[in-house]
A and B are shown apart, each in its own frame.
Chain A
Amino acid sequence: MSNEYKLIGKDFVPPDITGKVTGKAKYAEDFRADGMVFARMYTSPMAHGKVTSINTEQAEAMEGVVGILTAEDVPEVTAPDAAILTNTPAYIGDPILAIAAETEQICEDAMATIEVEIEPLPFVTDPLDSLVDGGPNARTEGNAYARSREGSGFQTIKWSQQQVDDFRAGKEPTGDFVSEWSYGDLDNSFAEAELVIEEPFVTIGYAHMSMEPRTAMAYWQNGTCYVHGSSQSQSYFMPGLARMLGVETKDVVLISENTGGGFGSKIGAYPIAALPGYFSKKIGRPVQLRVTREQEYYMGSARVGFQGWIKMGFGADGKITASDVFIIEDIGPNATGGDASSAGGAISMVYDPSAMRFRGLPVLTNTTPRGAQRGPGQNQIAAVMAPIMDKAAKVLGIDRVEIRKINSTNNDTIVYADRRPVTSAYMDEALQQGADMFDWQNRKNQPKKKGKKVRGLGVGQGYHSAGATGFDGLVRLTPDGKLHIHSGVGNLGTYSFASTSRAAAEVLKCDWERCEIHRGNTENHLPWSSYQAGSVTIFSHTRTNYVAAMDALDKMKRIAAQTMGGEPGDYDIDGQRVFLIEDPAQGMSYGAIAARAIQLGGDYSGAVYPDDIHEITQRAVQNIAGSGLIGVAKDNLHQEGVIPGLAVAFCEIELDLETGKYDILDYVGIAECGTVIHPKGLAQQMKGGAVWGMGMAGLERHVYDPQNGLPANIGYHQCGIPTYLDVPSVTKTDAVNIADPQNPFGARGIGEPAMGCSVAALQSAISDALDGHIFGRTPISPDMVVNHVMGRDQSFLPLQTNNF
């Protein structure tokens, strides 16, 4: 099917890649403005406290120091939200003030003289320590925070010591929780089960640690704030940024041509992106704030940690009858996350239990703020579930791939608490394709032990919803015959801004060489686009570009009919021409059509536009109106049901029983994301996701000293980001490549499941190597393996988190 396309499903050279290999690509910190000064932040040394005095006298007197910005200069926010600067820090690294100076060194010299007195308040780094009766609360207002449509607010929830001890011992939690959803008849379904497995689990959160320490540079001109920022999204970043700056969206220009990684940490505006705007306003000069690596750790966001309990019921045939899951989620100091419910949703999607209950308890800690991180919730639970599925397979005597196929998501699967359909799903096919490519059956029969090393085979499944709707598309045909595709999608490095733009070129049958993408700067007249996150871009923006291109196509045919006679339906396009179907020799070039559109005005030239498009798109259209033929539309295409992005992974490891280390000998990842739009880009996502999964499975975690709230891994070295030598030299990937009916090109997203399947496969392989042992914990580090193999106790308490 994809063979019909000229561009879709083909590799191409994305326009931004050359800049990346030549060093010409500009990231926020590569920009300078006349008179620009540098800023640095002073952050909280205390996990929780109240600033009682700030002495900046000496700093202000220093030559080269231009100004100081404190919490008094920025809007106050209500707890638990994050402020730009605060006097009530709730984690080590919470920004308190900023200094601007002529050079970064002067900033730091001045910083060294700052005296801040802080009155300490109780703090906590492990949710269970806060939950236990008499335990400290991370916020004075309470220790839990629920965000829901019905209302958000603080709560103080305590469990008795006995309840906490029982939970640690692996028993079903009996303490209070704040959210719950369920479907089906849970009790009956468990009663019908042949096998019931109960497991406690903990997944430790960890920092995003994008390569680029986030930077923002801002200045004001004629009431407009220009921000050179580091953002995953482009247009989607704007309303939040404007709100933080206290201005209207129209008064902000965001320049974000390239972003040095985000992984969920830069989806929407974050407070310090607005800091230079306030600072620049105060001192009247452009201000650039580049955070240090340490500060990127503090405020660059982190994955939500889980401490939970799960009970799964299986029929004799391997079919999952019921699932009951309870998750305490570590939502940091700012009550950000919401991963737990997503994890519950993922269970419903990937394992399709006939009855299910989810209970969640979001607990605040004084650790770094949490946020979405690649598959937030889905990937934690993928890691938890893999060895449990393996255990069930073993007990029931079913092949481990087979038991996953028995429960696999397909077009008829109904998911989530509200029992929604899926647009399409082919988990079964993905598993089969992966098993074939990996040669699962054959490998299964290979001998397991080789000296002190054991082989482990793993299979894992990943899921994330992979599409959103209602965003706008905007294309423009100019008299020079070029197709301009305006994209408000960010540049996270997935090249999806480009691959989705090709959808418009595909519709208009335009040579790619004659297309130009406009992006990366509000002044490039960009439409309202989705966040570049949640694996949504491919689905959402093939649609927006499709509707915009269809709008353009309709106008082109109308212009042709108007100019050359007949009805629009008499015309077709090809070779950058609109021509009469009956007599292809008669036609107009795209350039001529564009020139005619300018003459005709009205909706042809953008002087008139649909009223359902977003105000950001409206402004973009206003600015380009009259420069060509404008195709603009909101994505109102039919959409119902959940849009799944699915992936499976197979891996083989060789685990050294004496050192606890393992080598990943082979890795196969299969994407099930509808039609493949950009093969190399998809491979990149699958392989990058695999590396992320490997980091989560064995290396990355937050470590806090609970006695004083200090974080141990503030740098790259301590964070344990996987290197070249910690991942296989070759990772193999492929895709199922079956079109989804609800996307004009059949495509869905994949970025997040690409990681979930990897962490799951690794957990499954480690468990397999250790004869089915379930650690119930990520990451699994060499010390844990050594302790297990040697029959020693682990160093940590059961379910302890944010620790080694």
Chain B
Amino acid sequence: MASFDVMPEVQLFQPAELDDALKLADELGSDGWLLGGGQDTYGWLKDRAKQPRAMIDLNGIEALQGIRKTDDGMEIGAATILRDIIRNEDINRDYSLLSQAASRVASPQIRNVGTLGGNLSQDTRCWYYRRGLDCYRAGGNICYADGPQSMNREHAVIGASRCVAVSPSDTATALLALDATMVAENTEGQRVLAAEDFFVGPNTHITQMTALKPGEILSAIRIPKKWASQRFYWEKVADRDVWDFALVSIAVSMAMDGNKIADSRFVCGGVACTPHRLTNVEQAVRGRTLSNESADAVAPLASEGCKPLNYNHFKLPLMENLVRRAMRG
């Protein structure tokens, strides 16, 4: 078994204009690799587990940068680094859910270069897959993580289909809870996807984490006004408080009508291949107040439909407990 450490030969393009990047992405197709902060790139390339012909560095493109106010909320360029999001006043005031989530990503150095687009598009951390094994997700015909003896403490408890990997992104849960939309562009134009459609599971896309097609670039993330300055709850449970991905995380937005919940979004991370919306919890909390009673009443709904693997049934009570905490007020 070869063990690799240095970057293998791969070309690098550093376009300054989005159009040039789109053209390159189009020409290179699946041979091209979009480069944001690169923190989920270099490992794959160094390990030679992924072998693109060229990297397209998106960091020099002005149009992909920045945090802007729009008529209906905010727009964040996909290449905006997490550090800027964490420090942005408007986001901290109106959408603190996102800045809280972003501030729990990996480590300071990674947040200093990691982009929002990259954090959303990052690949799963299933250790079998990361080892470079030819599993379903890598185009093979087997899932090593879902056998009778597999070590799958960090894997999915719901929404799995052959592949049992989970979505690792912290910002993804927050953006789903904020009803964000994703702007994807290619040489032919752009399409706007709801966050829920942007993240895809193995039942439909076993080798992908997002609905982005080859040649498409995620250019911006739009957050509607709907949840601005509403009540938020964010928590991430991980083994270590630096670097580690969520065992389970929760992002909650609540619109209050007096002391009652008028509308809400409950999204769990680390439990499914996509950020997982707890729609039954959302329905159940409508009209309820924040209290211990409400918490205990709705919490059991959080794990409904879950099907744990060998080592991850703890995620079920953990999901329930996180919902409980969000509901306690």
B-binding residues in A (CB < 8 A):
40-45, 92-93, 104-105, 108-109, 111-112, 114, 291-295, 452, 658-661, 699, 703-708, 710, 712-714, 716-718, 720, 722-726, 781-784, 786-787, 790, 792, 795-796, 803-804
Question: Which 6 A/B pairs are nearest by Cβ-Cβ distance?
Answer: A45-B1, A783-B314, A658-B321, A725-B241, A804-B153, A723-B242
Instruction: Please give, as numbers and ranges, the residues of chain B lying within 8 Å of A783 by CB-CB distance.
Output: 153, 247, 311-312, 314, 318
Apart from the given pairs A699-B240, A723-B241, A783-B311, 4 other A-B contacts in the complex at a CB distance below 8 Å? A44-B1, A710-B128, A795-B310, A796-B311
- Give the residue name and chain of the A residue nearest to B127 (CB): A712
Q: How close is B156's CB to chain A, nearest CB, in angstroms?
A: 15
Question: A43-B1, A108-B4, A710-B128 are contacts. A792–B317 as well, Cβ < 8 Å?
Answer: yes
Task: Judge whether A111 and B4 touch: CB under 8 Å.
Answer: yes
Task: Judge whether B244 and A717 touch: CB under 8 Å.
Answer: yes
* Tally of B interface residues using CB under 8 Å: 41
Name the one of A109, A699, A726, A804 contacting B311, with C-beta atoms under 8 angstroms: A804
Name the one of A40, A724, A786 contacting B3, with C-beta atoms under 8 angstroms: A40
Instruction: Please give, as numbers and ranges, the residues of chain B lying within 8 Å of A723 by CB-CB distance.
Output: 107, 240-243
Q: How close is B138's CB to chain A, nearest CB, in angstroms?
A: 15
**Which candidate, B23-31, B144-152, B169-177, is the interface stretch facing chain A?**
B144-152
Task: Judge whether B2 and A111 touch: CB under 8 Å.
Answer: yes
Instruction: Please give, as numbers and ranges, the residues of chain A lying within 8 Å of B188 by CB-CB distance.
Output: none
B19 within 8 A of A: no
B256 within 8 A of A: no
A708 to B150, CA, bound (A): 9
Instruction: Please give, as numbers and ranges, the residues of chain A lying within 8 Å of B4 by CB-CB distance.
Output: 108, 111-112, 292
Question: A717-B243, A723-B240 are contacts. A804–B1 as well, Cβ < 8 Å?
Answer: no
Question: A705-B149, A707-B147 are contacts. A787–B8 as well, Cβ < 8 Å?
Answer: no
- Give the residue name and chain of the B residue nearest to A781 (CB): B239
Task: Judge whether B317 and A790 touch: CB under 8 Å.
Answer: yes
Instruction: Please give, as numbers and ranges, the residues of chain A lying within 8 Å of B243 by CB-CB distance.
Output: 716-717, 723
Task: Judge whether B321 and A782 touch: CB under 8 Å.
Answer: no
Task: Judge whether A108 and B8 touch: CB under 8 Å.
Answer: yes
Q: How close is B105's CB to chain A, nearest CB, in angstroms?
A: 13
A144 to B312, CA, bound (A): 33
B237 within 8 A of A: yes
Q: How close is B297's CB to chain A, nearest CB, in angstroms?
A: 16
Task: Judge whether B239 and A705 touch: CB under 8 Å.
Answer: no
Name the one of B3, B244, B321 contacting A43, with C-beta atoms under 8 angstroms: B3
Instruction: Please give, as numbers and ranges, the residues of chain B lying within 8 Å of A792 by CB-CB distance.
Output: 313-314, 317
B260 within 8 A of A: no
Task: Judge whether B151 and A803 touch: CB under 8 Å.
Answer: yes
Q: What is the 8 Å Cβ interface bit string for chain B, positions 292-314, against chain A (1 contact, 0 not)?
A: 00000000000000000011111
Q: Tell me the residues in window 51-110 of chain B with beta carbons closer than 8 Å to chain A beta carbons.
A: 107
Task: Judge whether A704 and B317 touch: CB under 8 Å.
Answer: no
Instruction: Please give, as numbers and ranges, the residues of chain B lying within 8 Å of A726 by CB-CB distance.
Output: 240-242
Task: Report how many A-B pairs have Cβ atoms within 8 Å.
Answer: 132
A704 to B311, CA, bound (A): 13
Q: How close is A118's CB to chain B, nearest CB, in angstroms?
A: 10
Task: Judge whether B1 and A722 touch: CB under 8 Å.
Answer: no
Instruction: Please give, as numbers and ranges, the residues of chain B lying within 8 Å of A716 by CB-CB distance.
Output: 243
Task: Judge whether A703 and B151 touch: CB under 8 Å.
Answer: yes
Name the one of B127, B148, B239, B317 contacting A786, with C-beta atoms under 8 angstroms: B317
Name the one of A114, A706, A786, A804 contacting B321, with C-beta atoms under 8 angstroms: A786
A42 to B4, CA, bound (A): 9
10 A-B interface contacts by CB (under 8 A): A44-B1, A105-B7, A111-B4, A112-B2, A295-B3, A658-B322, A705-B149, A707-B147, A708-B144, A781-B239
Q: How close is B131's CB to chain A, nearest CB, in angstroms?
A: 7
Instruction: Please give, as numbers and ranges, the residues of chain A lying within 8 Å of B313 by CB-CB distance.
Output: 787, 792, 795
Q: What is the 8 Å Cβ interface bit string for chain B, positions 147-167, against chain A (1 contact, 0 not)?
A: 111110100000000000000
Instruction: Please give, as numbers and ranges, the residues of chain A lying within 8 Å of B8 by CB-CB distance.
Output: 105, 108-109
Task: Judge whether B149 and A706 touch: CB under 8 Å.
Answer: yes
Q: How close is B249's CB to chain A, nearest CB, in angstroms?
A: 11
Task: Judge whether B242 and A725 touch: CB under 8 Å.
Answer: yes
B325 within 8 A of A: yes
Q: How close is A758's CB to chain B, nearest CB, in angstroms?
A: 17
Question: A786-B318, A792-B313, A795-B310 are contacts. A108–B242 as well, Cβ < 8 Å?
Answer: no
Task: Judge whether A104 and B5 touch: CB under 8 Å.
Answer: yes
Task: Judge whether A658 and B324 touch: CB under 8 Å.
Answer: yes
Q: How close is B48's CB to chain A, nearest CB, in angstroms?
A: 6
- Give the residue name and chain of the B residue nearest to A788 (CB): B314
Instruction: Please give, as numbers and ranges, the residues of chain B lying within 8 Å of A294 by CB-CB distance.
Output: 3
Q: How close is B325's CB to chain A, nearest CB, in angstroms?
A: 7
Instruction: Please give, as numbers and ranges, the residues of chain A lying within 8 Å of B314 by CB-CB distance.
Output: 660, 782-784, 786-787, 792, 795
A802 to B285, CA, bound (A): 42
Name the one of A40, A109, A658, A804 contacting B325, with C-beta atoms under 8 angstroms: A658
Instruction: Please give, as numbers and ranges, the residues of chain B lying within 8 Å of A703 by CB-CB distance.
Output: 151
- Give the residue name and chain of the A residue nearest to B244 (CB): A717
A660 to B237, CA, bound (A): 9
Instruction: Please give, as numbers and ranges, the residues of chain B lying within 8 Å of A796 by CB-CB distance.
Output: 311
Q: How close is B313's CB to chain A, nearest CB, in angstroms?
A: 6
Instruction: Please give, as numbers and ranges, the residues of chain B lying within 8 Å of A45 by CB-CB distance.
Output: 1
A660 to B235, CA, bound (A): 13
Q: Tell me the residues in window 229-272 of chain B with beta carbons closer than 8 Å to chain A beta carbons.
A: 235, 237, 239-244, 247
Instruction: Please give, as numbers and ranges, the residues of chain A lying within 8 Å of B127 by CB-CB distance.
Output: 712-713, 718
Question: A705-B150, A792-B314 are contacts. A108–B240 as well, Cβ < 8 Å?
Answer: no
Task: Judge whether B149 and A707 touch: CB under 8 Å.
Answer: yes
Task: Judge whether B239 and A782 touch: CB under 8 Å.
Answer: yes
A760 to B328, CA, bound (A): 35
A679 to B237, CA, bound (A): 38
Instruction: Please give, as numbers and ranges, the residues of chain A lying within 8 Å of B317 by CB-CB distance.
Output: 786-787, 790, 792
Task: Judge whether B240 and A292 touch: CB under 8 Å.
Answer: no
A783 to B240, CA, bound (A): 13
Q: How close is B239's CB to chain A, nearest CB, in angstroms?
A: 6
Instruction: Please give, as numbers and ranges, the residues of chain A lying within 8 Å of B312 by CB-CB distance.
Output: 783, 795
Q: How close is A616's CB to chain B, nearest CB, in angstroms?
A: 35
B6 within 8 A of A: yes
Task: Judge whether B240 and A41 touch: CB under 8 Å.
Answer: no
- Give the residue name and chain of the A residue nearest to B310 (CB): A795
A714 to B47, CA, bound (A): 12
A722 to B150, CA, bound (A): 25
Instruction: Please give, as numbers and ranges, the residues of chain B lying within 8 Å of A724 by CB-CB distance.
Output: 242
Interface centre among B144, B147, B242, B317 (most CB of A within 10 A): B317
A377 to B132, CA, bound (A): 35
Q: What is the 8 Å Cβ interface bit string for chain B, positions 7-42, against chain A (1 contact, 0 not)?
A: 111000000000000000000000000000000000
Instruction: Please give, as numbers and ranges, the residues of chain A lying within 8 Å of B153 by CB-CB distance.
Output: 783, 795, 804
Instruction: Please give, as numbers and ranges, the residues of chain A lying within 8 Å of B310 by CB-CB distance.
Output: 795
Q: How close is A792's CB to chain B, nearest CB, in angstroms?
A: 7
Instruction: Please give, as numbers and ranges, the residues of chain B lying within 8 Å of A699 by CB-CB distance.
Output: 239-240
A792 to B316, CA, bound (A): 11
- Give the residue name and chain of the B residue nearest to A116 (CB): B1
